Amino acid sequence: MDREPQVSGYPVHAGIIMDGNGRWAQRRGLKRTQGHLEGLKAAKRIVKAARDMGVKYLTLYAFSTENWKRTAEETGFIMSLVKQHLRAELDFYRENRIRIRHAGDSGGLPPDIQKELSGAINDTKDFDGMQVILAINYGGRDEIVRAVQKLAGMRKLAAESEPAENIAERDIAGCLDNPDIPDPDLIIRSAGEHRTSNFLLWEGAYSELYFSQKLWPDWEKEDLKAALEDFCKRDRRYGAETASAMSA
Ligand code: IPE
Ligand code: IPE
Ligand code: MG
């Protein structure tokens, strides 16, 4: 496989808020759906680029729990794109030993998408290459609520009458959608908005943030490289003192 060795200092886990598909289309006098089609092409380019750059986990924010507020035409189009993509690209994932995962409330997805998604997850579950986590019908708050519900359900089943103050961060973290995946080191957002829009609220507590003006359908591998290079310059302190303060 033509995979480049991992560049030391690059993020192990990167998340991308793939924003700007609609504006990309509208600026060209096209329908918003055309922007989503181009956005999918960009996502494929960036998956390949991330793999070549040695990123181990890539979380792609494709559809939020709030995106259902859009027209039925747009949401239906995005769902059909997801389905087509999972069908058409399975060979690419297989050839590159890429494991597909999902983040989000799968129960809230149309049944045919649930089926396609669980099929792709199952078909790729033993692959040891990069992991691509598709955040579809994903909301950070929703994920935390579902995690707390799961935890409460597990404790009830075990008939544990533990005091509530025994609930620790690790208990909630362990009930999130993909508890084995390390927190994202870097979260990228395209298209100029400076907000998380409910993406990885828990896991992103100490993620570095990178914002780009470029609309998602225009993203090329050089844009990803620029984000990863920028990440290399960051000083991650996690609330501790700076190195310079320590030596003073
Ligand atoms: C991101 O692009 C894709 C989804 C949210 C599904 P948008 O569709 O939000 O594009 P803009 O922000 O309207 O340009
Ligand atoms: C965030 O983009 C969700 C995805 C990229 C899937 P939105 O376009 O939905 O976010 P807002 O509405 O600008 O906050
Ligand atoms: Mg948007």
End-to-end CA distance of the chain: 48
Q: Which ligand is nearest to the CA of 137?
A: 2
DSSP H helical ranges for the chain: 21-26, 32-52, 72-88, 90-95, 111-123, 140-157, 169-173, 221-232, 243-247
- Does the beta carbon of 190 lie inside 6 Å of ligand 1? no
Pocket test for ligand 1, best of 16, 19, 134 (most atoms within 8 A of CB): 19
Supply the residue whose CA is at minimum distance from atom 1 of ligand 2. 197
Q: Which runs of E-coded beta strand occur in the chain?
A: 13-17, 57-64, 99-103, 131-138, 186-189, 208-211
pLDDT of residue 247: 59
Q: Which of 54-58, 135-139, 208-212, 240-244 has the lowest mean pLDDT?
A: 240-244
Nearest CA to 198 out of 89, 90, 66 is that of: 66
Mean pLDDT of 156-167: 80
> What spacing in Å lies between the alpha carbon of 134 and ligand 2's midpoint?
15
- Token pair recorded at residue 236: 């991650």
Indicate the pLDDT class of residue 3, thresholds 50, 70 and 90.
very low
Question: Mean pLDDT of all residues in the chain?
Answer: 94
Q: Has residue 114 got a pLDDT over 90?
A: yes
pLDDT tens-digit readout, 24-34: 999 999 999 99
Q: Is the pLDDT of residue 179 over 60?
A: yes
pTM above 0.85, yes or no: yes
Q: Is the pLDDT of residue 2 over 50?
A: no
Active-site annotation holder among 19, 142, 177, 223: 19
